[in-house]
Amino acid sequence: MQEIAQNWLVLEITNSPFLLGLDAFLGDIPIFLFSLVGGVIADRMDRRKLLMISQIIQMTSALTLATLIATQRIQIWHILLSSFVVGTAQAFGGPAYSALVPSLVEKEDLPNAIALNSIQFNLARVIGPVLGGLALKYVGSAWCFGLNSLSFVAVMISLMRLHINFKPPHTGESILTGMKQGIGFIRKQGAMETLILIAFCMTALAIPMITFLPVFARNVFHGNELTYTLFLVTSGLGSITGALTVAALGNIHNKGRVALTMLMALGAGITGFSLSKSVAASCMLLFISGAVLMCAFAMIASLVQLITPNDMRGRVMSVYNVAFRGGMPFGSVTTGWLVPIFTAPHVLSVNGLVLISLGAYFLFVQRRVAEL
C-alpha cells in the first residue's frame, strides 16, 4: 500500500521521473552501503532481535509520513529522507531475515521454503495495490501510510512466536574481519561470484519496469491511479504464479540452466511490455515477466543458500543482498535519468535486450552457473 501511494505521491508533487527514480535509489542504496555490516551482525547476535529493531524503525517511518500528509506538511524531502531511513533498517534486517529461513527447514526442503516464502511478499504485492489504489483514490495517501504502519505489528508478533535454533558464536574479531571472511568464502566457491553478478544485473535491469509503472500508466497509456494499480496487481499475480510453480517443482536438478532460461524470458517480457500499445497486452506481458522473475530469483537464491554453511550464512547473504538489492537503486536512478532523454519505452526495451544477452552468455559461453 505504501509503495503505490509513495510512487504516485512523488510523481504528483514533483512531476519528475528523475525524482521518482531518486526516491527508489535512496530506498535501496543503504542496502548497498550497509548490508555487509548487517550480515556480520546477523552472524553475531540474535537474528530475531535484529529483525525486531528493523521492523520498529520502518513502522515509525510510515507513521511519521502518514502524520505529515494528514497535517498537509508533507514535502518531497520528507519522502526522500524516509526512504533512506527505511532502506537502512532493511540493510540490517535483510541479512537476518534471509539467514532465518534455512534454520527453520531441512536442507532438502530449502528451495520449496524460499519459493513459498516469496509468495507472502508477492501476495502483498497483489492485495496491497488493490487496497492502496482504492485508498489512494477515495480516502487519500495518508491512509496508505497509516495502514502500512499498523501491518508491522503483525510481523513483530509472528517474530516473537518463532523458535530459532541458531546461537551466535562469541568472537573477538572485528566487523571488518568478519566481512573479509564472508567475501573470501564467496571467492572460493567458483560459481558463487557469477550468481551474485547475475543477481545484481537482474534487479538493475528488471526492477525499473516496476518502478516506472506510474510513468507508463500516466504518460504512455494516459490512465490514472487505477491503471497503475492494475499493472502492479498483474505483475504481482505473475510473481505468485512463478513462486507456486517453483514450490511445486521442489528440489529439481539443473537449477542453473532453469534460472538462466528464465532470465532470458524475463528480458523478452520486459522488451515486449515496453513496446506494447495495448493495456491488455501490457498486463499479459507484466504477468509473464513477474512469473519468470520470481522463478529466476527463487532458483538463484536457492543455489546461494545451498552452497553456504549456517555459520557463514548472514555474511554470504549480506553480499547477495548487496547485489540483489543494490542493483535496484542504480537501475532506478539511471533509468530515471535516461527516461526524459529517450522515453520510458525505449530505455526499458534496451534493458530487456541486455538481460536476454546476459542470460545467453552464461548459458552458452561461461557455463559455471549452467552446470549447477
Q: What percent of the chain has pLDDT over 90?
A: 42
AA letter at 63: L
Backbone Cα Rg of the chain: 20
Q: What is the C-alpha to C-alpha distance for residues 334 and 336, in angstroms, rounded to an integer? A: 5
Question: How far, in Å, are 50, 64, 301, 319 from residue 177 at the CA level?
Answer: 20, 37, 25, 14
Mean pLDDT for 124-131 is 69
Q: What is the C-alpha to C-alpha distance for residues 175 and 179, in angstroms, rounded to an integer? A: 6
Q: Which three cell numbers stand for residue 106?
A: 531441512
pLDDT digits (tens, 9 = 90+) for 169-206: 667 678 888 888 888 888 888 789 999 999 999 999 99
Show Cβ contacts of residue 75 under 8 Å, excluding neighbours closer than 6 positions: 13
Mean pLDDT for 249-264 is 89
| Confidence category of residue 64, pLDDT binned at 50, 70, 90 | very high
Q: Is the pLDDT of residue 34 over 70?
A: yes
Question: How far, in Å, are 62, 64, 85, 333 from residue 78 at the CA level?
Answer: 11, 9, 11, 18
pLDDT mean across residues, the chain: 88
- Let me know if residue 251 belongs to a domain: yes
| Confidence category of residue 166, pLDDT binned at 50, 70, 90 | low
- Let me know if residue 179 belongs to a domain: yes
- Let me know if residue 14 belongs to a domain: yes
Residue in this structure with the C-alpha cell 505529515, named with its chain if needed: 68
| Confidence category of residue 255, pLDDT binned at 50, 70, 90 | confident
| 264-302 CB burial, b ≥16 within 10 A, e <16 | bbbbbbbbbbbebeebeebbbbbbbbbbbbbbbbbbbbb
pLDDT digits (tens, 9 = 90+) for 204-229: 999 999 889 989 999 999 998 889 88
| Confidence category of residue 125, pLDDT binned at 50, 70, 90 | low
Whichever domain contains 277, its CATH number is 1.20.1250.20
Q: What is the C-alpha to C-alpha distance for residues 207 and 212, in angstroms, rounded to an integer? A: 9
Residue-range definition of the domain harbouring residue 321: 2-364
Give the alpha-carbon dihedral of 67, 72, 77, 79, to 10 degrees: 50
- Answer whether 315's CB lies under 8 Å from 39's CB: yes
DSSP 8-state symbol, 93? H
Residue in this structure with the C-alpha cell 517511518, named with its chain if needed: 61
Q: Is the pLDDT of residue 264 over 70?
A: yes
Please report the pLDDT score of residue 189 as a whole number: 81
- Let me know if residue 370 belongs to a domain: no
What is the phi/psi pair of residue 73, to 5°? -110, 5
Into how many domains does the chain fold? 1
- Let me know if residue 369 belongs to a domain: no
- Answer whether 208's CB lies under 8 Å from 73's CB: no
Please report the pLDDT score of residue 47 as a whole number: 83
| Residue scoring higher pLDDT (115 or 80) | 80
Q: Is the pLDDT of residue 325 over 80?
A: no
- Let me know if residue 188 belongs to a domain: yes
Residue 105 DSSP SS3: coil
Q: Is the pLDDT of residue 257 over 90?
A: yes
Please report the pLDDT score of residue 165 as a whole number: 66
| Confidence category of residue 24, pLDDT binned at 50, 70, 90 | confident
| Residue scoring higher pLDDT (83 or 317) | 83
- Let me know if residue 372 belongs to a domain: no
Mean pLDDT for 128-141 is 78
Please report the pLDDT score of residue 182 as a whole number: 85
Q: Is the pLDDT of residue 306 over 90?
A: no
Q: What is the C-alpha to C-alpha distance for residues 89 and 205, in angstroms, rounded to an integer? A: 24
| Confidence category of residue 106, pLDDT binned at 50, 70, 90 | confident
Predicted TM-score (pTM) of the model is 0.77
pLDDT digits (tens, 9 = 90+) for 332-363: 889 989 999 999 999 999 999 999 999 999 99
Q: Is the pLDDT of residue 263 over 70?
A: yes
User: Which range (3-17, 98-112, 241-255) has the least confidence?
Assistant: 98-112
Q: What is the C-alpha to C-alpha distance for residues 70 and 189, in angstroms, rounded to an integer? A: 52
> Closest by alpha carbon to 334, among 357, 319, 354?
354
Question: How far, in Å, are 106, 110, 272, 302 from residue 114 at the CA level?
Answer: 12, 6, 28, 7
In this structure, the number of other CB atoms found within 10 A of the CB of residue 240 comes to 20
| Residue scoring higher pLDDT (299 or 117) | 299
Alpha helices in the chain (DSSP H): 2-14, 17-42, 47-70, 76-100, 110-138, 141-161, 175-187, 191-211, 213-215, 225-249, 255-275, 279-307, 313-342, 344-364
- Let me know if residue 371 belongs to a domain: no
- Answer whether 333's CB lies under 8 Å from 300's CB: no
